[in-house]
Amino acid sequence: MSEIDYLNASYTLRSWFLTTDHKRIAILFFASLTVFFFIGGAAATLIRIELATPQADLVSADGYNRLFTMHGVIMVWFFLIPSIPNTLGNFIVPLMIGARDLAFPRLNLASWYLFMLGGTVTLFAIFAGGIDTGWTFYTPFSTLYSNSYVLVAVSGVFIVGFSSILTGLNFIVTIHRLRAPGLTWYRLPLFIWSLYATSVILVLATPVLAITLVLLAAERFFGVGIFDPRIGGDPLLFQHLFWFYSHPAVYIMILPGMGVVNELISCFSRKEIFGYKFVAWASLAIAAVGFLVWGHHMFVSGQSLLASLVFSFMSFIVAVPSAIKVFNWTATLHKGSIRFDAPMLYALAFIGLFTIGGLTGLFLACLAYDVHATDTYFVVAHFHYIMVGGMVTAYFGGLHYWWPKITGRLYSEGWARAAAILIFFGFNLTFFPQFVLGAEGMPRRYHVYPPEFQVWNVLSSGGATILAAAYLLPLFYLGYSLFFGARASANPWNAPGLEWQTASPPPEFNFATQPMVTRGPYQYSTDFEPEPQNA
Amino acid sequence: MWREWIPFWQGGLSPYGGDVDLLFIGLLVASSLVLGLLFVLLALFCIRYRAGNQVDRANHEAKSWHWEVGWTTASLVCFLLLFLWGANVFFEIYKTPQGELTVFVVAKQWMWKVQHAGGQTEINALHIPVNRPMRLVMASQDVIHSFFIPALRLKHDVVPGRFQDVEIEAKRPGHYHLFCAEYCGTDHSGMTGEIIAMEAPDYAAWLRQQGPGTPLAQEGSALFRELGCSGCHGTGSKVRAPLLEGLYGKPVPLADGSTVIADDKYIRDSILLPRSQIAAGYDAVMPSFEGKISEDQLLRLVTYIKLLGENHP
């Protein structure tokens, strides 16, 4: 029982906060992200409670604006973007490719410190007085009219951007240089392919965000005329720059989720992913074309009609590789041997919710309908289906799948399945009504609203209550498993991936001997041996 | 469009409202088909191929490329059709306004100020006659707002520093919501109003009832003198400045050799940024009025200059 692994190798604070072990850094990220997830979630809960009635009752108008800004900023930059890459990715990537660590272990630690610094600065802005610009920081509101802590919050986001860049850089170099002997590109698990695509976007797009935020600060602080027309600027320039980052950032937030789902679908249907190469290249296609669609956020802004036409066309094109993925996942199930463990429930939920999110994305890419639907709850519902229904669901799926590897413990399968099902229903009840609200014309970011919208808002708020409770469940049963869960074997899912060929939890340097790879990633034994879990 | 041949189809409340609704239904049907197919397949595979169920799993599809090409092409064709359909209706919504009636809308934190050509002013309300296209010229005094009438399927941002014009037309009388759809600060959700579409006689009566306001052009004429414009642009002035009579709607040759049409936007830019487009043959001596003039004053001046154009064809 006293095998030395990465967790019990040392217990000092120093050994955690100055560690260069990718597994410990993943744990540091995991703990910090969990805190941010629940802060952002608390803001969302307050928003939904406020919206249960058409009048203002819980918070003031300024309070409401600060809540949704805080929810957006925290969830986008301090949860969704780093979620899978920095926790599961950090932990699993070196294990999956048979490496001892990431290429730059100290850069990895620096990434966490930058994340924490950015997070602290942003939290300071939020608790010192808040920000009321929305997570999009649109000018000239943010540069001239907002009386809130814009500069501080923008600094926080600026800093955390460097954390993203360092992580992206680290992954790219690691995947190029540290693959085990015999691990060719087409033998890589698809999780690696999607993280590679994600990293390319992180490295190329994040600097543009940094530049944009510096320009914003220059205008707000020094009065340099860049975005404000009164001093010679152009407000739409900000939108172009911001969405040049923020639309690719949407793919940063979904590609890793797609990557996780490949692993889950394949494992729990005991089959190779159908159309491996198509799925792999679809990730890179999304990353590339994703840079050419930003103008679809600006169809009603007064940009030229021709530009709108081109951006609409490109937005339809970028949907094709996503469609390819969905079809391939479905085809993978055909003639599989499917078991419905908690991770698989999350994966199936992901396919359904992501597809709804993707299809409603086509509504918004479609020019004439976007004129009606943009800036309404239709958009809010659409991107929550992708971000929460997609990414967060995949995050939970991956977390459950690799939990035995990360912690060396098994969680309660019964509770895990119950939570997965509850999250699915809570999610749909929260966000489906918002499609109806948007189609009927309720604008987003409204603190008070006309009474005819109340019915759907009440449904949505009711769903949010269920969803909030469902998201708390894993905190308890996963937390419980840390101390009282049964010990996990090295390979509880009987999976062929390299990460399962070492102990759970892995030793400090991952593998006792350098693994060699002679086959593709998904060589599952055709008949599923039922693995008893402690239900 | 062709929707007129669909039996029992109720056209929308605006000329293109029905087209947008039909597009929505088209998108809904296409999505439901895809989603339905996907869910049926997922359910079918999950039940049939559940672990432990004794079914034939041999000979599963090994070569996949023809499936890949199949569904990629199918999605692409489907998407292209939706793209073309959406673009087609889009150009109907944002076509160049033709309406001979012009109404000015000034958006500011947090109200909509509407000014009719006859001088009638409304706050957070806009009266329009039915079945008569109207040209809205919109400007923002501060941050970005967005003019959104869900019932008419019409939305356009109002970005500070420029005029934006859209055409608005309602097919049936009624009261419709007006929302600000672009987040604009504290009272964003209070920046709402009403569009009141009326039959032509009712609209005429309403205009009369508002009492004789000073027409915008007349106020603009007063401003033209107060702000000193007439000192240079007036007839008989000593400074050599372009005459504005008969200017509106005409091509203006510029110093850099290009030509622009003297529309609202050009006149506005010439007042605020006189050095950006200099008329050929004139010196760049006009001072900028940026920051010295409000959107309300600006649109009065533009209306006046426009009138000068119409009186001198």
Structure ipTM: 0.91
pLDDT of residue B61: 64
- List of chain B residues whose C-beta atoms are within 8 Å of the C-beta of residue A301: 144, 157, 159
Which sign, positive or negative, has the C-alpha torsion A407, A410, A414, A415? negative
Burial A47-68 (b: 16+ CB within 10 A, else e): bbebbbbeeeeebebbebbbbb
User: Could you tell me whether strands B111-116 and B251-253 are parallel, antiparallel, or unpaired per DSSP bridges?
Assistant: unpaired
pLDDT of residue A535: 35
**Contact between chains at A369 and B177 (C-beta distance less than 8 A):** no
C-alpha A138: how far from chain center: 23
Mean per-residue pLDDT over chain A, rounded: 93
Task: Look at residue A533 and tell me whether its pLDDT is greater than 60.
Answer: no
Best CA proximity match to A301, nearest among B95, B91, B157, B182: B157
Residue of higher predicted confidence among B301 and A396? A396
Task: Look at residue A455 and tell me whether its pLDDT is greater than 70.
Answer: yes
Backbone angles phi, psi at B114, to 5 degrees: -110, 135
DSSP sequence for B218-250: HHHHHHHHHTTHHHHHSTT-SS-----TT-TTS
Helix (H) or strand (E) holding B167: strand B164-168
Closest residue in chain B to residue A449, using alpha carbons only:
B189
Q: Which residue has the tokens 């004439």?
A: A368
Residue A116 placed within a domain? yes
Backbone angles phi, psi at B249, to 5 degrees: 85, -5
Cβ contacts of A288 within 8 Å, gap of 6 or more: none
pLDDT of residue B5: 63
**Contact between chains at A374 and B142 (C-beta distance less than 8 A):** no
Q: pLDDT per residue over B130-142, tens digit each? A: 999 999 999 999 9
Closest residue in chain B to residue A359, using alpha carbons only:
B31
In angstroms, rounded to a whole number, what is the distance separating the alpha carbons of residues B34 and B40? 10
Residue A358 placed within a domain? yes
- List of chain A residues whose C-beta atoms are within 8 Å of the C-beta of residue B60: 271, 334-335
Backbone angles phi, psi at A458, to 5 degrees: -65, -45
Q: Which residues pair with B167 in a beta bridge?
A: B135
pLDDT of residue B6: 65
Residue A534 placed within a domain? no
* Best A266, A372, A379 residue to mutate vs chain B (most B CBs within 10 Å): A372
Task: Look at residue A534 and tell me whether its pLDDT is greater than 50.
Answer: no
Nearest CA-CA distance, residue A301 and chain B, Å:
5
- List of chain B residues whose C-beta atoms are within 8 Å of the C-beta of residue A340: 46, 50
Task: Look at residue B63 and tell me whether its pLDDT is greater than 70.
Answer: no
CATH for A487: 1.20.210.10
Task: Look at residue A530 and tell me whether its pLDDT is greater than 80.
Answer: no
Q: pLDDT per residue over A11-51, tens digit each? A: 999 999 999 999 999 999 999 999 999 999 999 999 999 99
Q: pLDDT per residue over A85-116, tens digit each? A: 999 999 999 999 999 999 999 999 999 999 99
Nearest CA-CA distance, residue B237 and chain A, Å:
30
Q: How confident is the model at residue B312 (pLDDT cuts 50, 70, 90)?
A: low
* Best B83, B92, B137, B140 residue to mutate vs chain A (most A CBs within 10 Å): B83
Q: How confident is the model at residue A1 (pLDDT cuts 50, 70, 90)?
A: very low
pLDDT of residue B281: 81
3-state secondary structure string, A376-415?
A: EHHHHHHHHHHHHHHHHHHHHHHHHHHHHHHHCECCCHHH
Residues of chain B with CATH 1.10.760.10: 216-311
What fold does the segment set B101-209 form as a domain? Immunoglobulin-like (2.60.40)
Q: Is A42 exposed, middle or buried (0-12, 13-18, 19+ CB in 10 A)?
A: middle
- Give the percent of chain B with pLDDT over 90: 45
Nearest CA-CA distance, residue A183 and chain B, Å:
22
pLDDT of residue B279: 84
Residues of chain B with CATH 2.60.40.420: 101-209
Average pLDDT over residues A527-533: 44
Average pLDDT over residues A186-202: 96
In angstroms, rounded to a whole number, what is the distance separating the alpha carbons of residues B159 and A301? 7
Q: Is A240 exposed, middle or buried (0-12, 13-18, 19+ CB in 10 A)?
A: middle
Q: Which residues pair with A307 in a beta bridge?
A: none
Q: pLDDT per residue over A349-390, tens digit each? A: 999 999 999 999 999 999 999 999 999 999 999 999 999 999
**A174, A122 Cβ separation under 8 angstroms:** no
- Give the percent of chain A with pLDDT over 70: 98
Residue A2 placed within a domain? no
Average pLDDT over residues A429-453: 95
**Contact between chains at B159 and A372 (C-beta distance less than 8 A):** no
Helix (H) or strand (E) holding B129: strand B125-129
- List of chain A residues whose C-beta atoms are within 8 Å of the C-beta of residue B153: 371-372
pLDDT of residue B161: 87
**Contact between chains at B148 and A441 (C-beta distance less than 8 A):** yes
pLDDT of residue A306: 95
Q: How confident is the model at residue A528 (pLDDT cuts 50, 70, 90)?
A: very low
Domain extent for A163: 24-501
- List of chain A residues whose C-beta atoms are within 8 Å of the C-beta of residue B87: 309, 312, 367-368
Residue of higher predicted confidence among A171 and A528? A171
Q: How confident is the model at residue A183 (pLDDT cuts 50, 70, 90)?
A: very high
Average pLDDT over residues B25-49: 94
Q: How far apart are the two ends of chain B, measured CA to CA in Å?
A: 36
Nearest CA-CA distance, residue B85 and chain A, Å:
8
pLDDT of residue A175: 97
Average pLDDT over residues A143-167: 93
Residue A261 placed within a domain? yes
| Helix/strand/coil for B106 | strand
Residue A475 placed within a domain? yes
Half-sphere exposure of A72 (CA within 13 A, CB side): 21
Task: Look at residue A269 and tell me whether its pLDDT is greater than 50.
Answer: yes
Average pLDDT over residues A257-262: 96
Closest residue in chain B to residue A234, using alpha carbons only:
B161
Average pLDDT over residues B172-186: 94
Count of domains forming chain A: 1
- List of chain B residues whose C-beta atoms are within 8 Å of the C-beta of residue A272: none
**B262, B180 Cβ separation under 8 angstroms:** no
| Helix/strand/coil for B175 | strand
- List of chain A residues whose C-beta atoms are within 8 Å of the C-beta of residue B145: none
Q: How confident is the model at residue B21 (pLDDT cuts 50, 70, 90)?
A: very high
pLDDT of residue A531: 42
Domain at B216-311: CATH code: 1.10.760.10
Residue of higher predicted confidence among A29 and B4? A29
